[in-house]
Structure formats: structure tokens, C-alpha cells
Amino acid sequence: MAIAVRKGGRETASHGGTWKLEDAKARFSELVRLAESEGPQRVTVRGREAVVVMSVAELNRLLPEAQERPGLVSFLEGLGLDGLPIEREIDRGRNVAL
């Protein structure tokens, strides 16, 4: 999709969901609307792709499912460390000449 807008006496356009940073800033509402309706929109800085603006729905689709993490006690019990000798010797300090 190509969108041409007269801005400051010159034509600017975004082609295929790629925006120059200055255009993205000037037309941010439109950028967000297109990200929600048509998919991720790329923003370039000095001709190089810098960031992507995408809808929350698209982000949630890409992120892994949130898994419930166990509490600390459940986690430690699940390590299977039963029988591991974790006793230490009695510490009587060091002999230091004063």
C-alpha cells in the first residue's frame, strides 16, 4: 500500500509498511492504526531499519505462552536434592597472632 501526503510542499510516502522516522513521528496515529489493521510497520532511521511498530495482539501471538512459575519452596523441592550432604564442619575461627 502506498500513501502519499503533501507535507510542507513535498510528497512523502510509505510503501509496504515502511516509514521514515520523520514521517512516523508526524503521522503516528496513522502508523498505529495501520499496525493494528494491516500488520507490523517498519520505521527506518537514516535509511536503515530501526524498529517495528506492531499491535499488542501480534506481539502476544509471537511471545511464548506465559507459564506459571512455582514458588521458591516448590522449586527447591523439585530439584531432587534429597540425600545431598549439606552439613558443614563447626567453624572455630582462625588462629591469628596479635
CATH for 50? 3.40.1620.10
Task: Report the DSSP pairing between strands 18-20 and 41-45.
Answer: parallel
Question: Which residues partner with 10 through β-bridges?
Answer: 7
What pLDDT is recorded for position 40? 96
Q: Let me know if residue 75 belongs to a domain.
A: no
Q: Let me know if residue 50 belongs to a domain.
A: yes
Q: Let me know if residue 38 belongs to a domain.
A: yes
What pLDDT is recorded for position 15? 57
Q: Let me know if residue 74 belongs to a domain.
A: no
Q: Let me know if residue 44 belongs to a domain.
A: yes
d(CA 1, CA 55): 18
What total number of domains does the chain contain? 1
pLDDT per position as a tens digit, 39-70: 999 999 999 999 999 999 999 899 887 777 77
pTM beyond 0.85: the answer is no
Residue 21 has pLDDT above 50, yes or no: yes
Q: Let me know if residue 73 belongs to a domain.
A: no
